[in-house]
A and B are shown apart, each in its own frame.
Chain A
Amino acid sequence: MTRPFSARAILLASALALAPAGLSAAWAETPADVLVVAAQIDDIISLDPAQSFEFSGNDVDQNLYNRLVDFDPLNLEAGFQPSLAEKWEVSGDGLTITFTLREGVKFHSGNPVRAEDAAWSLQRAVKLDKSPAFILTQFGLTPDNVEDKIKADGNRLSITLDKPYAQSFVLNCLTANVASVVDKELVMQHVEGDDLGNTWLTTNDAGSGPYKLGTWKPNEAVQFVAFDDYWGGAPRLKRVIVKNVAESSAQRLQLEQGDIDVARNLTPSDIQGIAGKDTLKVLDEPRGRILYMGLSQKDPLLSKPEVIEAMRHLVDFEGMANSFLKGQWRIHQNFLPEGYLGASQDNGWTYDIEAAKKIIADAGLTGSSVTTKVRDIREYLDVAQTLQASMAQAGLTLNIEQMTGAQVLDAYRAREVPIFLGEWGPDYSDPQTNAGTFAWNPDNEGKGSTLAWRNSYAVPQDIQDKVAAATLESDTDKRAQMYLDIQAEYHKSAPILPLFQRVEQVAMQKGIEGWSGGGAVTSVMYHQVTKGQ
């Protein structure tokens, strides 16, 4: 009998399948004038600064646009600095701020940046009334009155407020992405109906920032091209490419191969894995996000003061910060993140099961149980399970229902999450952004959207009065002290427990200098980044 077939067929087929071996196109390193960043950027839904309210969208806009005032990436602690506005003055009654614009600044289109552009941009954001608009409208601006309140006159721009707010409060808000200055002439050419150019700006750039938008391929990459006529000097890196790489291990591999310069989303184990590499380094940058636990006051058990007291003892802060949260979250028990005016360092709650057990037993609550919904993110689930274990030791049963982010959010908005575990990221760089949500709930019975409302926490009137007063205090040092006082009181009594502050561990090639993810107060900036060779 002959062989049923020659082995040729298999050989040929396998040769075809294996042919590519050795086809590597790998470059030892990225080009000297290009910065390649790997990050998770699939949350961008719009690049219009009047609309973008996602981390990655703001990261893009930060570099495409300028604002009247901006942060210095190399000195974030210094606070807001003159940017498109060279200087400003506040009227005697504290109600009007007048900015003088820098001369000779150009948009990417070549159009000059005028006070009129700045005024129109702010008016536009108020009129469009997208998600971030409240950052501006909280100063009494409405679509109807904004043209009277914000006015351009020559190279001067004036903003009239409804109350004599602290200058630091107003200017901090003007560093927000929503206050970016857009090129009025260019955008007006692309207006569709009454959208004020929103559709066009969603995917296009009309800024004056250090980088122009090259391309944005959703879920794939954003490319920036240096704007050589930038008023602050041409960026040294001609191109910046941000690739969407969802997987931490894929980011790490590419970093080790030298195919990328910066990896922004490495897990603790991957950070540990590259620790020994002498071509790489890791930068720890505290960010603004707070991981907190909200105890719904609608819940009969959780609204008991004893339970709130016990819960403060049931969080294994050290244990979690040294294990699964290691390097990525640090203990922080107050609602203002480090890096903010008036941030408090008082982390007085301690993990003490015996104390909690006693409190629960004394209140006759041993054996009670509560069921909560937790978002299916590894970190939250780990925190929830750790809490479950310590609650069990103290005599309380915690049942965990795992859900998607959207489901938990829906329930939270409907005030139906008994123990909420999640993050809060500040909306702008002023302490009011967190005070106004953690400690603000003017109508607990009605409809609201602050964190306090979502946890059905009727914030005591004296705390709310202090929060309101702090927005009007013109002396910045006094203002900082007011926030410290508010937080001290909150720390003692509130059923919303700030637990940790986010630390972003950015891994990069050793030669990268000047990286700034924006700290706690703003977004990533590329202008000052260099690649030492």
Chain B
Amino acid sequence: MAVTDTSGGQAPPPPSDPPGGARLAATRRRAKAFGGVLLSLALTLLGLLLVTFVIGRVMPIDPVLKVVGERATPEQYEAARQAMGLDQPIIVQFVTYIGDVLRGNFGRSISTGHPVVEDLRRVFPATLELATLGTLIGVLVGVPLGVVAAARRGGWIDQIARVAALVGYSMPIFWLGLMGLLVFYGKLNWVGGPGRQDILYDGMVPTVTGMLLIDSLVAGDWGAFRDAFSHIILPAALLGYFSLAYISRMTRSFMLEQLSAEYITTARVKGLSERRVVWGHAFRNIAVPLTTVIALSFGGLLEGSVLTEIIFSWPGIGSYITKALLAGDMNAVLGGTIIVGVCFIGLNVLSDVLYRFLDPRAT
């Protein structure tokens, strides 16, 4: 693969093995650092939840109405309000909620009638599957495209990349999605229609991860895999296109910066092949910022893309949270927020770890 074609660069030397006492100290230091990470994670989450909770509660939306309906008598209304704990001050409600969460109780969603954990177990894998495939497409196409566009600046590939990115930025996703469906599903019949799978496969594959592609592979059911793939590929390609637009532009500008640096001139003067110069030298140096860009774009997709989900009837976390928010369904909103928050923090930690491997200086 082009991206891994960095054989020309030197791998960072492995850290030397410290002697016994020092090793213990290092372990302790690491444990401390780990504890610190956990603490900051918990605090970040708590802050995130508090902000979400307060915003959700001050919104002019009455969750009681969602439960009792607009025709309820004042007595029914009041009874439901008390049962939901909404007669308490906001801060008391929040503390109660956090207490419940710490005991592993995320509550029940008022907009689906199901326990929030059960809902999230269903909607998050759907989004994760879609976002991962989308990001994969975005990276596999966007990075090489950006690199080439920079290396042959002003060339036809650069022009194509520019137009593609421009279209990607400016085209409304619902329009592109509908056109995609119309052409590839409606006319050509190459891909499956809206939804995650054909009704015939619904419930045929035992749920392991909730991601149909993986579950069908685990079950060894190729028919189900093909079906799931034919349903996911269009929305994934669409999301992939949008992240491609972003990733290729960022890659290009990172690369341009590197290619104009003096060490590149030096390398060229030394007679290194252009390929070695671009991939071996310049590309290695943009790996760190590029990781951040990719992680952010992946994180963005993990929040769920509401419009894509609606057009493709994709039961993901984006439309779940949005719908819950509009109903004032705070249990569902907060449960979803925790998932998205943990993902973002996890991606941050992950890219921090990746930096150590990718940054030539970080040894």
Question: Which positions in A face B, CB cutoff 8 Å?
Answer: 1-6, 8-10, 12-14, 16-17, 20-27, 30-31, 34, 36, 42, 44-47, 53-54, 129-131, 133-134, 199, 202-203, 215, 217-221, 223, 241, 243-247, 249-250, 253-254, 256-257, 259, 404, 406-407, 409-410, 413, 427, 447, 449
Residues of B within 8 A of A54 (CB): 69
CB–CB B310/A130 < 8 A: no
Q: Does B28 lie at the interface of the complex (its beta carbon under 8 Å from any beta carbon of A)?
A: no
Determine how close the nearest CB of chain B comes to the CB of A315; give it in whole angstroms: 24
For window 66-104 of chain B, which residues contact chain A by CB distance below 8 Å?
66-76, 79
A449 contact set on B, CB distance < 8 A: 71-74
- Using known A-B contacts A20-B229, A23-B226, A219-B315, determine if residue A13 contacts B144 with beta carbons closer than 8 Å: yes
Contact of A257 among B76, B79, B144, B193 (CB under 8 A): B193
Q: List 12 A-B contacts (CB under 8 A).
A: A3-B275, A4-B151, A9-B2, A23-B230, A25-B230, A26-B185, A218-B109, A218-B112, A244-B315, A250-B312, A257-B186, A406-B61
| Number of A-B residue pairs at CB separation under 8 A | 201
B209 within 8 Å of A (CB atoms): no
Q: Which residues of B pack against A, CB within 8 Å?
A: 1-2, 5, 60-62, 65-76, 79, 108-114, 119, 122, 137, 140-141, 144-145, 147-148, 151-152, 157, 178, 181-182, 185-186, 189-195, 198-200, 202-203, 223, 226-227, 229-231, 233, 237, 240, 273-275, 278-279, 310-313, 315, 319-320, 323, 326-328
CA distance A244 to B311 in the complex (A): 11
**A241 and B199 in contact, given A16-B140, A406-B65 (Cβ under 8 angstroms):** yes
Given the known inter-chain contacts A5-B2, A247-B310, A406-B62, please indicate yes or no for A257 contacting B189, CB distance below 8 A: yes
Are B148's CB and A4's CB within 8 A?
Answer: yes
A406 vs B195: C-alpha distance when bound (angstroms): 28
Contact A253 B122 (CB under 8 A): no
The distance in angstroms between the C-alpha atoms of A34 and B189, with both chains bound, is 22
> Can you name the residue of chain B whose Cβ is closest to the Cβ of A246?
B310
Contacts of B275 in A (CB 8 A): 2-6
Chain B residues with Cβ under 8 A from A16's Cβ? Answer: 137, 140
Q: Compute how far the CA of A221 lies from the CA of B60 in the bound complex, rounded to whole angstroms.
A: 30
CB of A26 within 8 A of CB of B274, answer no
Write the chain B residue with the least CB distance to A45: B113
**B323–A219 CB distance below 8 A:** yes
Nearest Cβ on chain A to B167's Cβ, whole angstroms: 16
Q: In the assembled complex, which residues on chain B have CB atoms less than 8 Å from the CB atom of A34?
A: 199
Distance A217 CA – B109 CA, assembled complex (angstroms): 13
Which of B62, B68, B278 is the one whose CB lies under 8 Å from A131?
B68
- In the complex, the answer to whether A245 meets B194 with C-beta atoms within 8 Å is yes
Name the one of A8, A133, A219, A256 contacting B319, with C-beta atoms under 8 angstroms.
A219
Q: Is the Cβ of A250 less than 8 Å from the Cβ of B323? A: no
Of the listed residues A4, A203, A404, the one surrounded by the most CB atoms of chain B closer than 10 A to its CB is A4
